[in-house]
């Protein structure tokens, strides 16, 4: 289960990503949409969503491995996922 502070942070992160995507839609509605700017915003939104997914994956791994690792090792899970995912 996602802890309440983590849940609030994830919802805020997803809301920001949603805002980025809505901004992209507005950019695409413009007749003179600059391909470079659109591509940059797409990249930023993708990276933000990837980071959110990595955070959720770390949460899932921590839940499934709860009690199997020595104290303090659970912090390394987020580092490893961020480094290799």
Q: What CATH architecture is 4-84?
A: Up-down Bundle (1.20)
Query: In this model, does residue 74 exceed pLDDT 60?
Result: no
> For the chain, which residues make up each domain, given as ranges?
4-84
Residue 32 CA to residue 23 CA, distance in Å, equals 15
Q: Is the dihedral of CA 52, 54, 58, 60 positive or negative?
A: positive
Categorize the per-residue pLDDT at 83 as very low, low, confident or very high, splitting at 50, 70 and 90: confident
Query: In this model, does residue 15 exceed pLDDT 70?
Result: yes
Query: Which tokens in the block code for residue 80?
Result: 């490893």
What is the value of pTM for the model shown? 0.74
Give yes or no for a contact between 55 and 85, defined as CB atoms under 8 angstroms apart: no
pLDDT value of residue 58: 82
Per residue in 40-73, pLDDT tens? Answer: 999 999 999 999 998 888 888 878 777 676 666 5
pLDDT value of residue 27: 94
């Amino acid at each position: 289960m996602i802890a309440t502070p983590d849940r609030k942070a994830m919802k805020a992160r997803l809301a920001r990503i949603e805002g980025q995507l809505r901004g992209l839609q507005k950019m695409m509605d413009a007749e003179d949409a600059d391909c470079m700017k659109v591509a940059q915003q797409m990249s930023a939104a993708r990276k933000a969503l990837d980071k959110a997914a990595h955070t959720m994956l770390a949460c899932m791994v921590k839940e499934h491995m709860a009690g199997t690792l020595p104290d303090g090792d659970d912090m390394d899970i987020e580092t490893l996922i961020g480094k290799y995912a």
